[in-house]
């Protein structure tokens, strides 16, 4: 990379001497030069595709038909009339809210445990490494780990029946009553480390003086937790929870690899619903309308996220 530097310096000097652009104008262009590759890529890969998907969603037979006609809002009407869509909305909401809540609870609990001075620092740092592990695994791998563990003949059922919690082999992922909970549990397992790491960093940033002052005033640990720790962590909690909400809402591979949306739509999420419309039924126009609906939901949460980030 360093090799490029002299060449460009000469080129810049030459242009400057020719007086093609004044030195000051050139200087003003420098930042645009630096941001141009990223801007080009993001326009090509984000702005342009979003306009395309919006256009597809207003057409009849996008991608599949050469002369796809304008269809107005017909695709949206069809989507809103589909009961499976509404079922997916409800299930996505359940999956997302449960995931966000438990990610937060587990993440905070682990962060507090790792932040305590009651435990040997070496043990703490080893555990800190181990507690993050679930976060490093690909959704596909998480899916098959849990399919192995939650197999009717798997270890979870063995342990539960040994403890007499269950008296028959539960088919966690293939029964309509348990599949969504099993799926949500796998996602909770996979996602808490982001909260844990962020909250731990946040905990370490809280000034010690706040606790000292409170303890002089006679506050107990519980008071300190409610009146110092939680308010101090609030900005981080809000950021992470908003991001997590957006991301969890869009989760695809975990669902695809554990249940594929089944049995009988019982774990269908907005993402799998949309994917199947496009790549199983080749209804690209309907899928685009559904994708736009997901985008609108996600952008409205993003709006709060950006507002929150800018306030900080």
Partner 1 sequence: MAKRSFKNTVLPTILTYIGLAIGLVFAAFPIVWMFFSSLKSNTEIFALPPTLLPKTFTIAAYLTIFNDPVKVRFFINSYFVASVVTFLTVVIAILTAYAFSRYSFRFKNTLNVFIISTQTVPPITLLIPYFGMVVAFRIFDTYLALVMTYMVFTLPYAVLLMTGYFNTLPKELDEAVMVDGGSSWTALWRVIVPVSVPGIVATAVYTFLLAWNEFLFALTLTKSMDLRTVPIGIQLLMGQHAFEWNEMMAMSVLGSLPLLVLYLVAQRYFLAGMTAGSVKS
Q: Which is nearer to partner 1, 30 or 81 (CB)?
A: 30
Q: Which is nearer to partner 1, 17 or 118 (CB)?
A: 118
The least CB distance from residue 137 to partner 1, in Å, is 6
Residue 66 CA neighbour count, 13 Å, CB half: 0
As measured in angstroms, the least distance from the Cβ of 266 to partner 1 is 20
Q: Shortest gap between Cβ of 146 and partner 1 (angstroms)?
A: 7
Cβ–Cβ < 8 Å for 183, 267: yes
Question: In degrees rounded to 5, what are phi and psi of residue 59?
Answer: -110, 170
Give which of 190, 53, 62 is closest to 134, Cα–Cα.
Answer: 190
Residue closer to partner 1 by CB (options 68, 97) is 68
Minimum CB distance to partner 1, residue 167 (Å) = 15
In the complex, least distance from residue 175 CB atom to partner 1, rounded to whole angstroms: 18
Token pair 């507090």 is found at: 112
In this complex, which beta carbon is closest to partner 1, that of residue 76 or of residue 252? 252
Name which of 151 and 228 has its Cβ closer to partner 1: 151
- At closest approach, how far in Å is the CB of 198 from partner 1? 4
Contacts 24+ apart (CB under 8 A), 74-78: 75/285, 75/286, 75/288, 75/289, 76/289, 76/292, 76/293, 78/286, 78/289
Nearer to partner 1 by Cβ, of 180 and 251: the residue is 251
């Amino acid at each position: 990379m360093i090799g490029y530097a002299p060449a460009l310096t000469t080129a810049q000097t030459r242009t400057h001497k020719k007086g093609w652009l004044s030195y000051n104008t050139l200087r003003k262009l420098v930042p645009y030069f630096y941001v141009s590759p990223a801007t080009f890529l993001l326009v090509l890969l984000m702005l342009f595709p979003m306009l395309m998907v919006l256009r597809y969603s207003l057409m009849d037979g996008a991608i599949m038909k050469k002369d796809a006609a304008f269809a107005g809002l017909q695709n949206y009407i069809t989507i809103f009339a589909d009961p499976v869509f509404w079922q997916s909305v409800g299930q996505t909401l359940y999956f997302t809210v449960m995931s966000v809540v438990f990610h937060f609870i587990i993440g905070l609990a682990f962060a507090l445990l790792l932040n305590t001075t009651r435990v040997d620092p070496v043990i703490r740092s080893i555990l800190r490494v181990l507690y993050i592990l679930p976060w490093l695994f690909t959704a596909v791998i998480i899916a098959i780990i849990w399919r192995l563990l939650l197999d009717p003949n798997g270890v979870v059922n063995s342990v539960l029946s040994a403890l007499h919690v269950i008296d028959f082999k539960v088919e966690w992922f293939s029964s309509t009553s348990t599949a969504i909970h099993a799926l949500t549990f796998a996602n909770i397992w996979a996602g808490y480390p982001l909260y844990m790491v962020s909250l731990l960093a946040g905990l370490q940033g809280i000034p010690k003086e706040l606790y000292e002052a409170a303890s002089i005033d006679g506050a107990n640990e519980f008071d300190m937790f409610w009146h110092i720790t939680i308010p101090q962590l609030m900005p981080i909690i809000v950021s992470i929870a908003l991001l997590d909400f957006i991301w969890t809402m869009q989760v695809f591979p975990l669902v695809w690899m554990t249940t594929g949306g089944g049995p009988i739509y019982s774990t269908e999420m907005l993402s799998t619903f949309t994917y199947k419309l496009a790549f199983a039924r080749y209804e690209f126009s309907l899928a685009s309308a559904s994708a736009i609906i997901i985008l609108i939901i996600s952008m409205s949460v993003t709006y709060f996220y950006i507002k929150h980030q800018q306030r900080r």
